[in-house]
Structure 1
């Protein structure tokens, strides 16, 4: 006997919708840069009327209703003229961001409480002029971001600075960037999103009115007998006399005054290295207050002084220069992440 047809399986997965509906329902990936560049294409531009645009639409509706009720030919002409202007504004606003290329620029560190500045470079792909382009990233950007205008010349690009509030020390990552424009008359707002893998360091806020940088404890004389101070008859560093030193190297005045034979080394006296030590601070200070004072001392020391940094689990040997000072500030910003 022939078998009865099986009942349809209600739990079987349904076929996915075809065509444009499937592409519309498919989740889109974040706009990550390809080869460091994000291009704002047609699929990633969004447009909506602003408050001014909605008011303009209400005005056009009122003009059209009045013209229909009173059969005013001039009212029809003016209404349709304004409608055409509004449609042109919508296209110009959309065209202002279309095919715009964005790339990441250099990022500088900041101190807590200041604003960290991220830089984006914008360049039109088609060589057309762009007016009133704005960029922001989340709630940390100012309410009135600066605008950018590109004249469209070949190879010309502009800079879009994005300022983020650096409230806490540590690493600050750039959130999703929103690029928008209200050109030409502010009736429509066009925007798009882009994500760049950018981050910067936020140093601790230097303590205001911090005490002076502590002096290093030392005797002023090393194992070779070198005296780290200037003398009356020269600015050279002095050391103990050695057999065979030429007579013109002997510091006669200093030797007569101290009773010890001293010779000039021919080098300017170098101040001793200073240690900026966590453990020398009062125990009543909390962690952030300690880091703030240490940061103030590192900044006050400058690039010419030899300084070393000691933190719990971290020690940076004394050195000088901008790179050494930056390494000390980075250790303060990332502590205790860099503890072994």
Structure 2
């Protein structure tokens, strides 16, 4: 009778390699920014000069501030096309008040007007149940017309030095507008990521009906994001009026597209429920780097819109290393 001897051998299991796909999709936008910075700094070494970087921060601070509020709106599945009109109106208000009053009063007046406009948008969307696209498009026309009536289509010039210091002043070479932007990014990012309100914003964007059944006041959450968007537009308006020393009814008609672009490029989902403030900050950095690089390389500004369009399409496409910002939800098969 033969016996078979089995050796107690240890099977070698290959080490698990980390899955780089999800990580690349999540942080691909950061990698894209780093590559872009390296390419432009190689082509134009002056790009990384401290003075140039501070000028970029100062120039793009208003767009980035408005991007904060827009991020909240988009995460809930909404849309705000009125930020450009609110921005112009609040800039005019800030310049008018800043002619005679202290800068803090002009700041408060501009921010307050933005809050009121945002509250109205939130009421139209949640109270009257109008589609956000249509609601904010209509309010944009109303606000723009109101600004034209108030100003008579004339610029409001401010020669009060303390008011101009608010947007153009610097401390140790760092612009006040940049300090304000960093503070707002940190505050908004922490609220969105670590507070019950922030989790409610994500929940409403992910599934509004389920959130309502779970006890979340969905209408209040949605309305609050439009209010925040209006507030951010008001802050951006006073910063720009201070930087320019003036304001006019149509400061930047295409500004809303820049705001939406930085949010989309950053990777915030247009279907709601996904996104982050840091992503919007990276989106701002990408667009600001492109524009500044074009200027340093003396490339025609007309090409910027072409590049922006390509970037938006790429951000919404399932390309390797690019996190898709637009995903169609699968229908819920469970009843």
TM-score, L = length of structure 1: 0.18
Greater Rg over alpha carbons, structure: 1
**1 or 2 for the larger relative contact order (CA 8 Å, sep ≥6)?**
2
TM-score, L = length of structure 2: 0.18
More helix per residue: 2
